[in-house]
Amino acid sequence: METYMMSIGGQPVQAERTFGVVNPATGEVFARVPAGNTAHLDSAVAAARAAFPAWSRTPDADRQAAVHALAGVLERHMPELMDLVTRETGKPLGGLNGVGAGMEVGGAIAWTHVTADLSLPVEVIQDNEQARIEVHRKPLGVVGSITPWNWPLMIAIWHVMPALRAGNTVVLKPSELTPVATLRFVELAGGVLPPGVLNVISAEREAGVGEAMATHPGIDKIVFTGSTPTGRRIMAAAAGNLKRLTLELGGNDAGIVLPDAAPGADPEALAARLFGVGFHNNGQTCACLKRLYVHDSLYEPLCQALARLARDAVVGDGLQADTQLGPVQNARQRDYVHALVEDARAQGARVLSGGQLPEGAGYFYPPTVLADVRDGMRVVDEEQFGPVLPVIRYSDIDEVIARANDNPNGLGGSLWSSDPAGAAALALRLECGSVWINEHGAIQPDAPFGGVKQSGIGVEFGRYGLEEYTTIQTVKIMKG
């Protein structure tokens, strides 16, 4: 069994003991990682602070080249990293509609290249006979990154690459459930980056490393992807030294199928697209479709079509070539998902597919489609983060937009229609950071992505995301 190491100050670091990482397809430990603690955190922050002056003064073109070189590292080690991602998350190598470990590592490569080519040139506000006023973007210092278990490597890349590109140094803490691919990547990155520029610590939850990062006076910014309750705690703890924050938190994305979405009353093609955006990665994506509102005229045919797709989906070990959906990543999350389904069943929901805990090893749960659900049921009001799709009936457009907005989350939303222009006009009424027309969750590295309401603060990706890793300095040069 392989044992992986932390990287601090450019050196491999072990701890007094290790802990096991479980493959959710088998329920068995497949790797061991160091059980880091707050002393390791202090060392990592010290290394990052020591590396910051030189890295922040590195010529911009050299930092750009270094980030491109990190994409090259990912490319050269893609098969190895895909295997690790599948073993620790359970997601298939290929997956439903190609959404699996290959997409995760491939997406990490693409994001790294695009981020490398971003720049924040000096902006000139005024240049006349009186004065020249320039606005400069400067790195913040040490960025603390805390990543989740659902897309562990890709989200680490989302956090780390803009931080490095802007001239910051980084201390990274992956989820204790999925630290392996991230530890391996940072080890490999040591061949590109100067010591201390990128550091990583693995730690169990009870070690309190994440909490210590939020309060640490040597960390200037926290970027966190995860649950809203944890985001609130980070925000409160970060007030001690007024850390900058980027928080991408929970989503309970609504999709609205308009009456004209399936011309000819043929729901099969529409159902296939909706199934893909609701169930890829087993529904374990912040911007998955999680609440599906369907007009009366299409409701029953679409429900039945979705249920057929769910029953036909190939669920299994992600290392098998034909697997479309793997297990839920951990037992606690699977139990939560099943509790939501049972609550809906008790309140009269029709379980059209799935809805039963399977026997055998691993944390598998069948893709589940629920009909006759209502706003107010837990499975609608709460984020399932699993392979469950509640389908909710509506008849009035204005009413359904209000119902979609009546949720504390506001990450993404979608409208499905044969009239994209009309749907786009309705999109502006949805209270969410991103809206897709005839698509859902299709993010890209040059378009900003973030939530409103309790789905987060700040944005990621593109120029807007890069700016979040900088502070503004205004320089006024008097003339004459």
Taken as a whole, the chain contains a residue count of 480
Q: What phi and psi values does residue 291 have, to the nearest 5 degrees?
A: -135, 120
Of 377, 375, 416, the residue nearest 397 (C-alpha): 416
For the range 441-449, what are the long-range contacts, defined as Cβ-Cβ under 8 Å and sequence gap of 24 or more? 441/253, 441/277, 441/280, 441/285, 441/287, 441/288, 441/289, 441/412, 443/287, 445/110, 445/111, 445/114, 445/115, 446/114, 449/248, 449/287
In angstroms, the CA 85 to CA 118 distance is 27
In angstroms, the CA 277 to CA 268 distance is 15
Q: How many Cβ atoms sit within 10 Å of the Cβ of residue 379?
A: 26
Query: Six-digit token pair at 22?
Result: 């479980």
* DSSP output for 360-398: SSS-----EEEEEE-BTBHHHHS---SSEEEEEEE--HH
* DSSP output for 72-106: HHHHHTHHHHHHHHHHHH---SS-GGG-SHHHHHH
Query: Six-digit token pair at 36?
Result: 């880091």
Instruction: Tell me if residue 286 is catalytic.
Output: yes
In angstroms, the CA 456 to CA 230 distance is 11
Pairing status of strand 368-373 against strand 350-353: antiparallel
Catalytic residue among 88, 104, 176, 286: 286
Residue with tokens 């202090």: 42
CA angle 341, 344, 350 (to 5 degrees): 95
* 160 neighbors 73 (Cβ within 8 angstroms): no
* 248 neighbors 406 (Cβ within 8 angstroms): no
Q: What phi and psi values does residue 390 have, to the nearest 5 degrees?
A: -85, 130
Catalytic residue among 88, 104, 176, 248: 248
Catalytic residue numbers? Answer: 248, 286
